């Protein structure tokens, strides 16, 4: 698994993306990307990529979380 670090901070919603990583495999059999993040406020997060596809995470506690997803355009461009 290769790590792609993302330095984008989303001050508006007070959370930061920690690392974007590529999984082995392809979309037919697995999720091919993952996103690790830490939240300090809020519980529902939707991440948007270049397609724009969206990936929603319900984080019921503040702390470290992750989401895995399949995408042809994996760069996360925004979060709400």
Residue (of 70, 59, 77) closest to 27 by Cα position:
70
Residue 73 CA to residue 33 CA, distance in Å, equals 10
53-62 as b/e: b if 16+ CB within 10 A: eebebebeee
pTM over 0.85: no
Mean pLDDT by 10 residues, the chain (80 residues): 41 44 57 79 82 83 82 81
DSSP SS3 for 29: coil
């Amino acid at each position: 698994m290769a790590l792609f670090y993302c330095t984008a901070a989303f001050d508006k919603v007070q959370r930061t993306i920690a690392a974007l990583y590529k999984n082995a495999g392809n979309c037919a059999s697995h999720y091919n990307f993952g996103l690790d993040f830490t939240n300090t406020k809020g519980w529902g997060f939707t991440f948007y990529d270049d397609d724009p596809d969206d990936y929603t995470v319900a984080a019921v506690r503040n702390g470290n979380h992750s989401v895995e997803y399949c995408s042809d355009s994996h760069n996360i461009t925004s979060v709400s």
